[in-house]
Structure 1
Amino acid sequence: MTDGKAPMTDDDQKTTHFGYQTVPEGEKAGMVHGVFTRVASRYDVMNDLMSMGIHRVWKDAMMDWLAPRPGQRLLDVAGGTGDVAFRFLKRAPGASAVVLDMTEQMLVEGRQRAEAEQMAGSLDWVVGDAMALPFADNSFDVYTISFGIRNVTRVPDALSEAYRVLRPGGRLMVLEFSQLPNPAMQWAYDRYSFNVIPAMGQVVANDRESYQYLVESIRKFPDQETFARMIRAAGFGNVKYRNLSMGVAALHSGWKL
């Protein structure tokens, strides 16, 4: 006899975090997809407001350290509206880029930006999963992911996929919110994050809940040293990180040697 319910999968039995909630692994991707579908139309505006425009400085710092070279092929995962890919292509004549995101609406917003039309010949937009990239081994020179890896259900799987699709000598670079080394500064930053950002999301995007999740997901992400160890465990060498704005965000770099 059966009760008519589908059998539980391994992903349903394992749990992970969605912000401060504990949820079955199999449900997280759909929940994250819902968040970014809801915020897509206001995503760029909210990024500017939440960070007071500093996210642009961080992305420029990412490009400075990355030093894009002509002819390179970039995969920008969780690339959303194209910010990083546009910067990369502007600095690397003859380069090409693929922007991959699990949320089609984010890619739609990216394709509507003026830069997308100017770079259409060297830019592709792909709906896909960071944990199961739809690309062959050794396909890219550079892999970037900005403010996206903390939303992945199984971060080690995403890092392993990054290693797989990079060519030997290829480079991984991750830009993510991180932890401030000073407890008093972290306390002040948390007060801003939890009290101001969700309220701002309600006013600007009419969506407090999604921005509450985004703030919680930042607090759940590993600190700089822990994440660096995760990158090394995926096989990358010469792993280093740089704090940005005293650790509000951090850049992590690794190489497929």
Structure 2
Amino acid sequence: MTDKVRDQDKTHFGYKDVKPDEKEKMVAGVFHSVADSYDVMNDLMSMGVHRLWKRFTIELSAVRKGHQVLDIAGGTGDLTKQFSRLVGDTGRVVLADINESMLRVGRDRLIDQGIVGNVEYVQANAECLPFPENTFDCITIAFGLRNVTDKAEALRSMCRVLKPGGRLLVLEFSKTNNPLLTKVYDTYSFSLLPAMGKLVAGDSESYRYLAESIRKHPDQKTLEAMMKEAGFVNTTYHNMTGGIVALHKGIKP
């Protein structure tokens, strides 16, 4: 067996090499574990800054009344809530997540906040989205792409279901080129983050995986190239918080 074939038989779960069909189950286990404490941990982990990152994503989406929006890996519904208000009664927002626990928490949270009528909930794998071609005006995936087994296939799937002229926004942890910031960030990620996970969610290993998954995610230039390969044009990215997070944009021609 060649090295190329062996590589195709493996993917990464954090720093571990696993079979592709095993990764989906392992990632599911992580998010089943953290679903109920996800919002609290997001605020603690980012010191609330994740709200500013998401606000910029909403601003760059150009979503307006009547639009069809797909929020992939929508989790507890932060983006879906804002999109629901923007698209109005004539639009539609689909909150999609592969994880049943995250989808349940997001649905319950939005219903409790009175977000009903123009929001749908779909359990779906980003690699094979169950929607017709040319359906959505905008697709977002926030802090979810790094958990996808086949990222290239997921990007192609997103391009397929976007309308021509529609835009994809990928908000994800990325790479900083500042050595001092990198050192501080690494210490925080591998020491403080698992400790917080243990204290708040009773689960340090899931948050250790999340830190490792960030390090294994493609950097800004690599992800931009992957988006172009998937069929997107006019690709750009915006670094935030020193490059710890980047917002990528691509347009379907």
User: One-letter code of the match for 1:99?
Assistant: L
Q: Pick from 231, 234, 240 the counterpart of residue 238 of structure 1.
A: 234
Q: What aligned pairs does 1:3-14 form with structure 2 within 5 A after superposition? A: 14=9
- Counting aligned pairs with the same residue, the percent is 50
SS of 2:175's equivalent in the other structure is: coil
Match of residue 30 from structure 1: 25
Change (3 A) 1:13 1:255: closer
User: One-letter code of the match for 2:140?
Assistant: T
Match of residue 160 from structure 1: 156
Give unmatched runs, 5+ long, in structure 1: 1-9
Match of residue 80 from structure 2: 85
**Displacement after TM superposition at 1:42 (Å):** 0.3
SS of 2:117's equivalent in the other structure is: helix
- Asked if 1:123 is matched to 2:119, the reply is yes
- Alpha carbons 2:77, 2:110 under 8 Å: kept: no
Q: What aligned pairs does 1:6-155 form with structure 2 within 5 A after superposition? A: 14-94=9-89, 95-114=91-110, 118-155=114-151
**Displacement after TM superposition at 1:242 (Å):** 0.2
User: One-letter code of the match for 2:92?
Assistant: S
- Asked if 1:249 is matched to 2:249, the reply is no
- Asked if 1:213 is matched to 2:206, the reply is no
Q: Which runs of 4+ in 1 moved over 3 A?
A: 10-13, 114-117
What whole-Å deviation, never above 9, does each CA across 1:153-186 have from its counterpart, x for those lacking one? 0100000000000011111000000111212211
**Displacement after TM superposition at 1:114 (Å):** 4.6
SS of 2:141's equivalent in the other structure is: strand
SS of 1:118's equivalent in the other structure is: coil
Q: What TM-score do you get using the length of structure 1 for normalisation?
A: 0.93
- Alpha carbons 1:239, 1:254 under 8 Å: kept: yes
Report the number of matched residues.
248
Match of residue 6 from structure 1: none
Q: What TM-score do you get using the length of structure 2 for normalisation?
A: 0.94
- Alpha carbons 1:12, 1:25 under 8 Å: kept: no
**Distance (whole Å) between structure 2 residues aligned to residue 78 and residue 11 of structure 1:** 29
